[in-house]
A and B are shown apart, each in its own frame.
Chain A
Amino acid sequence: MDTFTQIVIAAISSGTPLLFAALGGILIERSGIIQLGAEGIMLLGAVISCMTFIHTGSLPLALLAVAGISIALGLVHAFLTVTLRANQTVSGLAMTLFGTGLSAYLGKSVAGTPIPGSVPKLDLSFLDGVPFLGDVFGHLNVLTWFSFALVVILHLFIHRTSWGLHLRAIGDNPATADVMGIRVQTLRYGYVIVGTILIGLAGADMLLAYSPTWTEGMTAGRGWIAVALIIFARWNPVRALLCAYFFGAMDTIGFKIQLIGSEIPSYFLKMIPYIVTILVLMYLGWRSRNKLSGTPQSLGLPYIREQRF
């Protein structure tokens, strides 16, 4: 296997959690709610999947448990931001703090214990002979395939169905959507919850497929990189896939430089993804200074029927 193939494989495996989280965030933000709790939700998703997997030994149960906790967190965020119209930024920050603390607290008992198994891979032995694709696809697990499917589904959903039209409408102009008979509040609840499940799944994928033991704060800011990814991807699922793998590659290239024995200390190589995030955001901001960035127009504004802010 050549270096390029290795980097592609590693980029996909480290990009998949980012992709899940970004897709979840896109759904939530398209509906007009800012979601900054990704870091905390991912940590909780990771720790819950780890605990369930270790105690029951069943992967589906682990994923179900993640869905369960994500629904609870999504309900909290939706209740605070949609029903109580609380500040969406602070609600997300609170979720990150709470998730970081709670996951460290819960994870104390399973810290360092390896999980009893791995995510199964699809049987693609017929591809073995194909030089590049065989290696790449042979390494993908079920969750990664699911993330591919999800990109396609969400892309079609958002841009090709009437439900997607409603989703975009409540994110851009909830008042008009309301007049058209779309249930803004109910839909926002729904999208926040579904999106939170995807973000929780990102944490589970991080733990189950990327680094299979729980350590405190293991996401190391990936939740926030996912938040930045949503902006890079301009709230578009297909672009989210490309951006997530780009960041996965950034992650991987740091390791690779270290492996070939470079003089640069590893600490600086680990800074690459964060610094690249800031630089890319600055570039995008500069380029789109005079045009629309694709931000849902009512993002962050609570909607109250018959009233203007």
Chain B
Amino acid sequence: MSKTQAAALPLEPAEAPRRKRFSYRIEIDPSGTRNPWWIAPLSILLALVLCGIFIAANGMNPVTVYAKMIKGAFGSSFGITETLVKAIPLLLCGIGVAIAYRISVWNIGAEGQFLVGAVAATAVTIWFPNLPIYGTIPLMIVFAIAAGGIWGLLTAIPRTYFQVNELVTSLMLNYVAILLLDYFVFGPWKDPKGFNFPGTPMFNDAQTLPVLGDTRLHLGLVFALVAVVLYGLLVKYTKWGYELRLIGANPEAAKNAGIPIQRHILLVMLISGGLAGLAGMAEVSGVSHRLMYGISPGYGYTAIIVAWLAKLSPAWLVVSAVLFGGLIVGGYSVQTIGLPSSISNMIQGAILFFLIAGGMFGKFRLRRNA
């Protein structure tokens, strides 16, 4: 209420306390269900500005660095195929994370599930070295999905039956998976002809996924695209997907409607882990052609941001997986000018900060205090 209006009201007692002129409160906006579209691009932009400050503080020109990253990731046909190669595991893990998050299960164990998937796929090549390609590849896929799924269940079972926070378990299991992989590549599976390189022997032709032309882009892209289409269809058009959405929207109501939440959690983590395991198989069989030390540049963690940025929507999952694939490739390309590739982790974290800050604009509204 403005001053002149206040003066025009004769009934108001003179000693009434003066209202604060700028007093606002934040409240939940009942009509706000979706965020404005510009939140995501703005978050990315602000994250780049923030990280640019750190880059500048380190004595580099951020514009040069970013230009180098973009050119490295999208500036050449080699860069683009490399970006897509990195997008494959991100998309597979990202779908897994997204499915779990649909029912508010925080799977940050995609990294570990990815690694055990890679280990299991390699186990096939070690144990059955002479199978033909139509035998090996399906067996590797089955092993990898099973291993990733079991790793996911190891998180889901404590959560459902022992009320253990899945964040902590899935993260602990990531470290266990890293150690397991290290054991195999430094120990029993180490290539005897590898000059002490921590990796298994190279896979033979029957154990590697076919690639497109003379690029490194492999069949895993098809797996990822099929998975994302299936994810979209299942969530949108099936009863199971409906139940997932119901649990995600209102667990209390879902419980009262008789939906077995615990069983859903187990199933969802099985699928989520299985997809990450498949990503691990695609990576060893399609890209590195061997199991080796440090095989993942943190795909499982990046997948969390991929899923979050895409707001769990299948189409946007593809877009954000490609974007973050580019970020990883760009991170590698700045190594040539003496910067560590971890710069891409830093940008990822910053993007997430701004995304969650921006995500609140749609949910709340600012109201002037009356």
Contacts and interface: CB of A to CB of B under 8 A. Distances in A.
Interface of A: 36, 40, 76, 80, 84-87, 89-91, 93-102, 104-106, 108, 216, 220-221, 224-225, 227-228, 231, 265, 267-268, 270-271, 274-275, 277-278, 281-283, 285-286, 288-289, 293, 304-307, 309
B167 A89 contact: yes
Contacts of A91: 353, 356
A307 B28 contact: yes
Given A94-B352, A104-B340, A221 B175 contact: yes
B164 A100 contact: no
Interface of B: 25-28, 54, 58, 106, 108, 154, 158, 161-165, 167-169, 171-176, 179-180, 182-183, 186-187, 301, 304-305, 308, 339-340, 342-350, 352-353, 356-357, 359-360, 363-364
Given A84-B360, A100-B345, A231-B168, A285 B305 contact: no
A293 to B, nearest CB: 8
A138 B179 CA distance: 34
Contacts of A216: 342
Contacts of B172: 221, 224-225, 228, 274-275, 277-278
Given A89-B106, A93-B108, A80 B357 contact: yes
A76 B305 CA distance: 18
Contacts of B179: 267-268, 270-271
A91 to B, nearest CB: 6
B173 A307 contact: no
A13 to B, nearest CB: 21
A171 B304 CA distance: 28
A304 B367 CA distance: 13
5 contacts: A105-B343, A216-B342, A267-B183, A271-B175, A282-B162
Contacts of A98: 345-346, 348-350, 352-353
A281 B162 contact: yes
Contacts of A84: 356-357, 360
Nearest to A92: B167
B345 A304 contact: no
Nearest to B344: A101
A101 B175 contact: no
A220 B343 CA distance: 19
Contacts of B176: 271, 274-275
Nearest to B47: A98
B182 A267 contact: yes
Contact of B349 (A100, A106, A227, A306): A100
Contacts of B175: 220-221, 271, 274
Given A282-B164, A306-B25, 6 more contacts: A94-B353, A97-B352, A105-B343, A106-B58, A108-B340, A220-B175
Nearest to A96: B349
Contacts of B352: 90, 93-94, 97-98
Given A278-B158, A307-B27, A86 B164 contact: no
A286 B28 CA distance: 36
Given A228-B168, A231-B165, A278-B169, A102 B349 contact: yes
Contacts of A309: 28
Contacts of A221: 171-172, 174-175
Nearest to B183: A267
Contacts of B357: 80, 84, 86
Nearest to A224: B171
A102 B347 CA distance: 9
Contacts of B340: 104-105, 108
A285 B164 contact: yes
Contact of A289 (B163, B187, B305, B346): B163
A71 B139 CA distance: 52
A227 B168 contact: yes
A80 B353 contact: yes
A105 B52 CA distance: 13
Contacts of B360: 84-86
Nearest to B26: A304
Contacts of B28: 304, 307, 309
A208 B58 CA distance: 24
Given A86-B359, A274-B176, A40 B158 contact: no
A265 B189 CA distance: 14
A2 to B, nearest CB: 30
Contacts of A306: 25, 27
Contacts of B54: 102, 105-106
Shortest beta-carbon contacts, A-B, top 3: A98-B349, A101-B345, A101-B346
A101 B183 contact: no
A97 B305 contact: yes
A95 B164 contact: no
Nearest to B343: A105
Nearest to A285: B162
Nearest to A40: B349
A85 B349 CA distance: 18
Contacts of A277: 168, 172
B346 A93 contact: no
Nearest to B347: A101
Nearest to B28: A307
A229 to B, nearest CB: 10
A102 B346 CA distance: 5
Nearest to A111: B340
A46 to B, nearest CB: 15
A8 B347 CA distance: 41
Given A108-B340, A282-B164, A85 B106 contact: no
